[in-house]
């Protein structure tokens, strides 16, 4: 049942990665996509940036603000870049 809801919610998302950011259920194949996204974010900044992102959320920032402050790109722009055929190497 929950997987059906997840599939329906994905249909309304602009990208698979954007959907995963708000998902309450992840299918096994989603974990590799999420891992790849985190690896790309670390490449743009540093491995410590992921920890900083969560610290900013803990300090009261909404996740979108924490994302942009930490990774120097909006979540929407990151989704677009991640979905592009060639993800740029430079921030």
How do residues 17-50 score in pLDDT, each as one tens digit? Answer: 676 666 666 677 777 778 888 888 998 899 899 9
- Concatenating the DSSP letter of every residue in 33-82 gives HHHHHHHHHHHHS-HHHHHHHHHHHHTT--HHHHHHHHHSS-HHHHHHHH
How do residues 38-82 score in pLDDT, each as one tens digit? Answer: 888 998 899 899 999 999 999 999 999 999 999 999 998 998 888
Going 55 to 40 to 28 to 18, the CA torsion angle's sign is positive
Distance CA 56, CA 4 (A): 33
From the number of C-beta atoms within 10 Å of its C-beta (0-12, 13-18, 19+), residue 12 rates as exposed
Q: Domains of the chain: which residue ranges?
A: 2-83
Q: Could you tell me the pTM of the whole model?
A: 0.66
Going 68 to 36 to 47 to 90, the CA torsion angle's sign is negative
């Amino acid at each position: 049942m929950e997987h059906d809801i997840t599939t329906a919610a994905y249909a309304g998302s602009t990208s698979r990665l954007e959907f995963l950011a708000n998902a309450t259920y992840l299918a096994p194949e989603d974990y590799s996509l999420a891992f790849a996204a985190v690896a790309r974010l670390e490449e743009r900044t540093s491995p410590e940036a992921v920890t900083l992102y969560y610290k900013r959320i803990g300090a009261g920032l909404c996740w979108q603000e924490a994302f942009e402050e930490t990774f120097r790109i909006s979540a929407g722009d990151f989704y677009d870049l991640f979905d592009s055929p060639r993800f740029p190497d430079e921030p």
